[in-house]
């Protein structure tokens, strides 16, 4: 069962009186509201409620739930908003053309404000536990302080990757600090990386305590892996007000941060506290089944109760009808975003990740039946694909909410730790030091019969740092498409516009069946399997051009536009340089309410 946050009303009213009313799923308001911080933070059970309160802003309507997760990270060289060509504020968030007045975002309950709400709650908890809780390693209070430090780091990490430089608040707000200007993100990176170092000494490894038995609580493997991720981001290329560059702070140098990332990732690997799931499909089935037991591949998940969260609502394989045999979540759920159309064809045909990640069909109009209407799979067009990692049909719970599905966001998984270790080992020690980590990821991706060629021979041939690095850029693509981590990686590698331009050319070539896509079949053949709902498709693979027989029907497998159509060109807005639009602007409502302290950089 998924963990549900139950926060005592006394804690909310005592500590977070400046925050808006919370969702009923999270609140139990029967208790009096008279406890003071010295009482709350000297009692582990009460302090747990306060720590859960830090997580509440994740699920607010215009926060992660409905704005940050559905839009941040789209339009890379592997993922896009499926309606990018449709002019409007939703598309603008993805095509590198968001304005401060964006109607989807420009309100006081936006994710920007909710992140600071979470930070303020974390600041109060951190201050209270330090003063009254005696948070030693191996104690409940130590675990809770480590979780508070980590949750604050999560909010700040996401603020930085979405908005760049932002105000730094690491103490509870006072009248003197009510209005603050932006701080250099370098200052914030250094603080949260240090905080995670402290947190890693306080929290337990996955599954070693009842508290860390679920990935909805912070554990040491996640803290170390997340710290490694942030070290790479902090030392990577990114847009500063004076241009795209690496940090000039010597504490955030490549040598220092890569050494830290390698150390932390290796410690996770050597701990044996996490592991890849045995199959890639099994990983994603487990995710959709909402199995949150710690100690597997998922390191930490952003927790949503059953009535909150929109991961499938937004990203699942599309379901046309409001109700079918798999869901009752409303009409046209899922399918808002998907893989770029060429990604399926870039995978090795024997890569077991391909068919899990890239889905060419949707679920059509359901026909009345008992106990639920029945929908069948229907093929779409070459230019519209769906993320197969998110599937109502793999759930064990039937979603009945009209607006939410309650499925968690998998924030980090063990495969990323392995690829961080590979990247940093390659940089610091050379390609031979990276090989074992890359092989472990690829070993799961190919059948035993293919591993000699696709794993051993492939990796062993990467005998230069450049060759290994390029292979890791590709491996991240094949492993993480649909998880919206690609954008920050492209930015830190200084490859954002380069790879977006490559992607536009690839789509044009696929549409015209030229270049690397000249042998992609132009006709698909299909029939229904014995269940009469699932498609048996022939013609998706290169070279499958022979008609398989009279039992199959056929459709033209073509792009709906031309090689120069508006959809291809809308991967990023015409006339915009994505390298100069790596961040969203701070929304106008926050500029207006900042007492003149906030401004937008980067030409916004």
Could you tell me if 464 and 542 lie in one domain?
no
Q: Model confidence at 176, in pLDDT bands (50, 70, 90)?
A: very high
Could you tell me if 434 and 522 lie in one domain?
no
Could you tell me if 488 and 519 lie in one domain?
no
Asked, for residue 582, whether it belongs to a domain, the answer is no
CATH of the domain at 210: 1.25.40.900
What average pLDDT does the segment 183-212 reach? 98
Could you tell me if 488 and 522 lie in one domain?
no
Could you tell me if 244 and 298 lie in one domain?
yes
Distance CA 578, CA 559 (A): 25
Q: Which residue has the higher pLDDT, 377 or 35?
A: 377
Distance CA 352, CA 233 (A): 29
Could you tell me if 528 and 449 lie in one domain?
no
pLDDT at 249: 98
pLDDT at 42: 97
Pairing of strands 27-28, 7-8: parallel
Q: Model confidence at 362, in pLDDT bands (50, 70, 90)?
A: very high
What average pLDDT does the segment 108-128 reach? 98
Could you tell me if 456 and 426 lie in one domain?
yes
Asked, for residue 318, whether it belongs to a domain, the answer is no
Q: Which of 1-15, 399-413, 551-565 has the highest mean pLDDT?
A: 399-413
Distance CA 269, CA 502 (A): 34
pLDDT at 164: 97
Asked, for residue 457, whether it belongs to a domain, the answer is yes
Helix/strand/coil for 44 = helix
| Residue ranges making up the domain that contains 552 | 515-556
pLDDT digits (tens, 9 = 90+) for 547-571: 999 999 999 999 998 756 889 999 9
Residue-averaged pLDDT of the chain: 94
Could you tell me if 419 and 550 lie in one domain?
no
What average pLDDT does the segment 337-363 reach? 98
Could you tell me if 427 and 548 lie in one domain?
no
**Token pair listed for 329:** 């979540």
Asked, for residue 595, whether it belongs to a domain, the answer is no
Q: Which residue has the higher pLDDT, 510 or 23?
A: 510
Model confidence pTM above 0.85: yes
CB atoms closer than 10 angstroms to residue 178: 10
Asked, for residue 430, whether it belongs to a domain, the answer is yes
Could you tell me if 210 and 288 lie in one domain?
yes
Could you tell me if 456 and 534 lie in one domain?
no
What one-character-per-residue DSSP string does 517-563 give? GTTS-SEEEEEE-TTSSSEEEES-STT--S---TT-EEEE---SS-T
Q: Measuring CA to CA, which residue among 464, 474, 154, 463 is closest to residue 299?
A: 154
pLDDT at 563: 58
Could you tell me if 551 and 485 lie in one domain?
no
Q: Model confidence at 335, in pLDDT bands (50, 70, 90)?
A: very high
What average pLDDT does the segment 337-360 reach? 98
Pairing of strands 298-302, 409-413: antiparallel
pLDDT at 27: 31
- Please tell me what DSSP assigns to residue 209: S
- Into how many domains does the chain fold? 2
pLDDT at 576: 96
pLDDT at 307: 83
């Amino acid at each position: 069962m998924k963990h549900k946050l139950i926060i005592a009303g006394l804690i909310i009213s005592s500590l977070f009186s400046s925050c808006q009313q919370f969702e009923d799923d999270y609140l139990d308001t029967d208790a009096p509201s008279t406890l003071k911080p010295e009482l709350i933070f000297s009692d582990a059970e009460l302090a747990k409620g306060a720590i859960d309160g830090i997580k509440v802003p994740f699920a607010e309507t215009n926060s992660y739930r409905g704005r940050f997760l559905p839009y941040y990270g789209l339009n890379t060289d592997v993922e896009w908003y499926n309606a990018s060509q449709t002019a409007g504020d939703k598309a603008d968030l993805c095509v590198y053309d968001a304005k401060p007045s964006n109607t989807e975002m420009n309100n006081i309950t936006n994710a920007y404000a909710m992140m600071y709400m979470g930070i303020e709650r974390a600041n109060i908890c951190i201050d209270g536990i330090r003063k009254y809780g005696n948070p030693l390693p191996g104690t409940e209070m130590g675990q809770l302080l480590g979780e508070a430090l980590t949750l604050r780091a999560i909010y700040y990490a996401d603020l930085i990757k979405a908005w760049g430089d932002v105000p730094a608040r690491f103490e509870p707000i006072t009248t003197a600090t009510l209005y603050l200007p932006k701080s250099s993100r370098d200052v914030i990176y250094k603080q949260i990386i240090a905080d995670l170092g402290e947190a890693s000494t306080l929290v337990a490894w996955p599954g070693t305590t009842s508290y860390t038995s679920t990935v909805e609580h912070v554990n040491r493997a996640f803290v170390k892996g997340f710290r490694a991720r942030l070290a790479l981001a902090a030392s990577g290329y990114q847009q500063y007000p004076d241009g795209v560059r690496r940090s000039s702070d010597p504490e955030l140098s490549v040598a220092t941060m890569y050494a830290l990332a390698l150390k932390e990732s290796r410690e996770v690997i050597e701990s044996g506290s996490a592991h890849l799931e045995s199959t890639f499909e099994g990983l994603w089935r487990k995710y959709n089944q909402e199995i949150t037991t710690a100690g597997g591949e998922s390191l930490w998940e952003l927790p949503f109760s059953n009535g909150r969260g929109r991961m499938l609502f937004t990203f699942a394989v599309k379901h046309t009808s409001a109700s079918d045999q798999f869901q009752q979540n409303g009409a046209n759920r899922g399918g808002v975003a998907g893989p770029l159309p060429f990604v399926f064809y870039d995978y090795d045909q024997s890569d077991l990740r391909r068919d899990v990640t890239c889905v060419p069909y949707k679920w059509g109009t359901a026909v009345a039946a008992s106990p639920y209407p029945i929908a069948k799979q229907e093929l779409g067009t070459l230019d519209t694909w769906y993320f197969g990692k998110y599937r109502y049909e793999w759930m064990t719970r039937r979603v009945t909410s009209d607006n939410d599905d309650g499925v968690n966001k998998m924030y980090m998984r063990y495969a990323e730790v392995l690829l961080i270790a590979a990247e940093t080992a390659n940089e610091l020690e050379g390609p031979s030091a990276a090989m074992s980590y890359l092989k472990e990821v690829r070993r799961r991706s190919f059948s035993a019969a293919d591993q000699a060629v696709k794993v051993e021979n492939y990796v062993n041939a990467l005998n230069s740092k450049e060759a290994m690095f390029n292979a890791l850029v590709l491996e991240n693509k094949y492993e993480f498409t649909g998880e919206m981590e690609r954008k920050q990686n492209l930015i830190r590698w200084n490859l954002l516009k380069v790879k977006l331009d490559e992607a536009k050319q690839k789509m044009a070539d696929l549409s015209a069946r030229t270049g690397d896509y000249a042998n992609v079949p132009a006709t698909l053949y299909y029939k229904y399997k014995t269940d009469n709902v699932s498609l048996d498709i022939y013609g998706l693979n290169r070279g499958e051009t022979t008609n398989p027989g009279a039992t199959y029907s056929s459709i033209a497998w073509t792009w709906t536009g031309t090689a120069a159509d508006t959809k291809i060109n809308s991967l990023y807005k015409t006339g915009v340089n994505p390298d100069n639009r790596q961040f969203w602007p701070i929304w106008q409502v926050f500029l207006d309410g900042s007492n003149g302290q906030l401004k937008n950089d980067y030409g916004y």
